[in-house]
Structure 1
Amino acid sequence: MVRASAKHASATARLLLICIALLGIALLADFFWASSPHFSSWAPHEDKRQPTLLFPDPRIPTQGKTQSHKNETLSGRILSATFADLPAPKLKWEKMAPAPVPRLDGAAIQIKDLLYVFAGYGTIDLVHSHVDIYNFTDNTWRGRFEMPKEMAHSHLGMVTDGRYIYVVTGQYGPQCRGPTAHTFVLDTKTKKWSDLPPLPIPRYAPATQLWRGRLHVMGGSKENRHTPAIEHWSLAVKDGKALDKEWRNEIPIPRGGPHRACVVVDDRLYAIGGQEGDFMAKPGSPIFKCSRRNEIVYSDVYMLDDEMKWKVLPPMPKPDSHIEFAWVIVNNSIVLVGGTTEKHPVTKKMVLVGEIFQFNLNKLEWSVIGKLPFRVKTTLVGFWDGWLYFTSGQRDKGPDNPSPKKVIGEGETR
């Protein structure tokens, strides 16, 4: 009787141990299931250490076939809206007279109702060395003249005082050739060119502005076309002439790199957007064939004022580069048109920007005020008689593919 009771107790204990073991196995399996990528991609996600797990943006349709690039998914997860278009009002655009030639990485300066359009790539193997003039009043391209033979053909720094156009450094030749330190000034009344002291070191696409009687040049890319430069130089100028024999060192810009907008409003100098890194010449290539390199596009905004210290202002709505001649000043606001943002994380291709951004200088606030008829980079922008114009650049492959394709010469206005 005692042995039977002990045997029964032993069986009960074994059964209890088995139940505990099965429960433990179930809990462990549940833990691994919850930790699996399948579970994490669907479960509510609060862990900010896993930025690849992103919820569908309600502004992006998720039904039906996934669209290429714009709303592309990675293992069922919707990509960040940084790589998609931001919500913005649709604007009605009117096509204007096309530019005489297509241009990429060209430059433009507006003086009253005339837009002076300089240089740029026609194709990767062809660069322009002339200036075209567009008249906003009668919608015609009615002037053309040659640039000096020594002047750069792309990635120029450029600014005007209302008559004289100062042209600084840039890339000389097609593909990814080297930069030149040559600096020139154009008298737009006589169409005559003059030399200015060369930049201390050549640069690609530096931020350039006239401020307090001095020509300021800052940032850009170094001689290898990829390494960001932070140097800042200035030269006293007046009426198209240099008052200094040499460039003066100024406070370096906090973050180097090319393709940013540089604007002066109310005696304050603003540097907006841009990138670190760029294409480089392929080592040993006799034609300096462009070779892809990593780029970081940023949304940083900096300002210089009376204190002569760079101040950090609110960032752009999204990272944006290739905007050095894509801005105008309207009603104490800086309006920026198109550009490029961060590369697509799946395809690694460049993503063009199709939004128009506005920076209100009274409130120091950014907003998205409209959409372009297509995404486009290195566009050349003007504003006249209440109308916003843009021309040239490189547009997207289509509404659902923001990577670059065609170099254009079309003009649009809104």
Structure 2
Amino acid sequence: MDIQAIREQFPILQQEVNGHPLVYLDSAATSQKPKQVIDAVNHYYNAYNSNVHRGVHTLGSRATDGYEGARDTVRKFINANSVEQVIFLRGTTTAINTVAASYGRANVGPDDEIVITPMEHHSNIIPWQQLAKATGATLKYIPLEEDGTLSLDKVEETITDKTKIVSVVHVSNVLGTINPIKEIANIAHKSGAVIMVDGAQAVPHMNVDVQDLDVDFYAFSGHKMCGPTGIGVLYGKKQLLKNMEPVEFGGEMIDFVDLYDSTWKELPWKFEGGTPIIAGAIGLAEAIRFLETIGLDNIKKHEQELASYAISELDKIDGVTVYGPKKRAGVVTFNCDDVHPHDVATVLDAEGVAVRAGHHCAQPLMRWLDVTATARASFYLYNTKQDVDAFVKALIKTKEYFGDVFR
């Protein structure tokens, strides 16, 4: 990978923040956008802005081709069988809520179980809490190992014949844990359950083959993978999606409307009510082309090398605690002595280094770690070892600053 050439594709990185070159280490929250993605979205608005599936005029046809072409680009990217299995929604959160509200309400009852893990993002906890409350089902958690990984033995112990849905994150946004999704899917299916996977932190960073994983539902967001905000994808096995009812009603998702009854369009459009996210889909397709040019295996290797290097450097600093397993994605979550993570992030920002601080929408995991919050550095294809060095140097300065304050 020619990192310098890649960095030059990202206009936002070519700036100073607080008098220092920007070091952006918050890609797990949202990634930056390359010029070709920005240009693709601008070109849509400048050249063929129109609604899709409606008009027969030229602009409408071009917009429809762009939108539906993006769906096929996503299909190939995740190796789905059919474009009918690729549903464009606002993001991972909307996708998980859609499955919980549609499949969950129709298939989960009072004697059933829903199984998740303590490492989930709130978006993969709250919909299942609400489903359990609405149906009387039992919400269960697979216990974590000491290093923040999942044991397949405990997965098998937690999933029972009463389990109807298993929902698990592919890559933890806090710990960087890469979960064995294929094996968990196999265990879920043996018990007659379906599996939903939150892939928001996986799809941008590694090859994901939904057929090989044998997942029933898989969700991810465009803005974490060099695409625009407001666009995401729900993949589902075709028969499951066909049997599910829409959760949002209105234009575009209907076949026929009578005064007292209506029928729905075929897949995938029955889940895409209203004017869809046209520019977002076009930008997402361009982001996929950008990532494929570089290669997801190259991206994964690069990020893991940066994370490993960062941890080795942090280990040299007294009072810094790093959380998560040794084998991880490009995420390094840490705390620094008694300095609050928000204070750490504030001083780092003064040095031009952008990290995330807080509970990372994972409060149950924070309680499992026995902390209220952490700081997080997350790496992507445009980061360098020089970025890590600047981050570590700024963190040492942070420790020195607060050491002086408390003396």
Structure number with the higher strand fraction is 1
Structure number with the higher helix fraction is 2
Name the larger-Rg structure.
Answer: 1
Q: Same fold (TM over 0.5)?
A: no
TM-score with structure 1 setting the length: 0.25
Larger RCO, structures 1/2 (Cα 8 Å, 6+ apart): 2
